[in-house]
Structure 1
Amino acid sequence: MSAVAEVILYTTEYCPYCVRARYLLDDKGVAYRDIRIDASRDLRAEMERRSGRTSVPQIFIGDRHIGGYDDMAALDMAGELDPLLADIDDAAE
């Protein structure tokens, strides 16, 4: 049985870019899993291992590492974010 594709955000509570990433996905009506790394070295290490980066947010759509908020916003401005999110919706059905 395969895992359902999902949107995952590694975030901290007060990071302004994390807040913007949440707002962008909320505005699009996208469900996501928000993994807060504030108080967990293990979750921070997981994020760094998966993304190769140390900054937050780190965003994954399915198996694809999108990057941070600026990367996701650039995809949105280029019209490339909605098709990626649609693929997630299709995989969940």
Structure 2
Amino acid sequence: MATVEIYTTPLCPYCVRAKRLLEKKGVDFIEIDLWQEPGRREEMVRRAAGRRTVPQIFINGQAMGGSDDLHALDAAGKLDPLLAQDGEGARRGSA
């Protein structure tokens, strides 16, 4: 299964929406809470090619964008194949 990482903040409804979709699909993910680890925001911005909003979602290290992007991939039938690719093994919780 793919390694999925998601940068979030606790009060972000888009973060909740993205995590719900991943959970519905049975995907374990690494959640990086930027309120608990504010020093990682610049890491997120760098990895996301300048995007500063949350969530930012990465599948096997590749930037997927935010919640709307994730749902669009799912609607187009492109998310499941990405999630099926081998990654380094994800786990739920803080990285």
Shorter-chain TM-score range? 0.7 to 0.9
CA distance in 1 between counterparts of 2:67 and 2:15 reads: 7
How many residue pairs match? The answer is: 88
Q: TM-score, normalised by structure 1?
A: 0.86
Instruction: Give the % identical residues.
Output: 52
Greater gyration radius: 1
Bigger mean CA deviation after superposition, 78-87 or 5-14: 5-14
Which of 69, 87, 93 aligns to 2:85? It is: 87
Give runs of ≥4 in structure 1 deviating > 6 Å: none
RMSD of aligned alpha carbons: 1.8
TM-score (norm. length: structure 2): 0.85
Q: Which of 7, 10, 34 is the equivalent residue of 2:7? A: 10
Q: Which has the higher helix share?
A: 1
Q: CA deviation at 1:73?
A: 0.3
Q: Bigger relative contact order, structure 1 or 2, given CA contacts below 8 A and separation 6+?
A: 2
Distance 1:19 1:55 in 2: 14
